[in-house]
Amino acid sequence: MTTKRIIPCLDVKDGRVVKGVRFEGLRDVEDPVVLARYYNDSQADELVFYDIAASTEGRPIFADLLRRVAEAVRIPLMAGGGIADLEDFGRALDCGASKVSVNSGALRDPELVRRAAERYGSRCVVLSMDVRRTEHGYRVFSGGGRTDTGRDALDWARLGEALGAGEIVLNSIDADGVRSGFDLPMLEAVGGAVGIPIVASGGAGTMQDFAEALRIPGVAAGLSAGAFHSRTVLIPELKRYLREQGIPVLLPGEAASQ
């Protein structure tokens, strides 16, 4: 059985980790390198580094800071923010990322996903989707969750898979920072639409929230920022709980199964 992953997320702005609610009201949390070391030592399976202002500011990802974070951890690192072309993919990988997450760049130019998968391999290409519930169904939003792109989330996920993305990070804008649980119906809908792994993001507040999401077919990982940053959920305790619930997670000293 495939091992499920627990992934903390560093949303970085102006060189600091920040956190908000539904993509708004950002507050300062910690230095990214300090927090990266903490999660590395806390048995996280992977770490996400998002330069959340890069796309809106029209610049590449903060390469120096990303490199420092990569040097501070021994676990896989996913990086995103300001990924607009193949050179941006290469820059993030050269800085130590093992995967690159693309969001706005793919919305502007979907073929970027195909080009990146052809050059770097699908395992390095992650499609990040910011999704809201609307009267028209699940819709993909851009611009920090403010602009409805008009794209149906299920259709966009299918296209991303067809173009070569190896994984999808599914961010629920409605649940982000609320800590009332992942959007399970949305995870079920998107997970049933594609065959690539889904990373659940947005809404985690308890260990049970992770268990509920990770039981959904297609959901390979649970991602959170606030629940981990606040120490409301501690990763070692979460993993022990999930193992007790029959959910396969990697404990210290164990080798991952694929």
Cite the active site residues.
11, 130
Cα–Cα distance, 187 to 8 (Å, whole number): 18
Hey, what amino acid is at 241?
Answer: Y
Cβ-proximal residues to 92 (8 Å cutoff; 6+ apart), any chain: 61, 63, 66, 79, 80, 83, 100
Distance CA 148, CA 246 (A): 39
As a whole number of angstroms, the distance between CA 23 and CA 65 comes to 22
How many other β-carbons are positioned within 10 Å of the β-carbon of residue 60? 18
How many residues make up the chain in this entry? 258
Q: Residue 9: which of 226, 239, 234 has the closest Cα?
A: 226
The phi, psi pair for 173, rounded to 5°, reads -65, -40
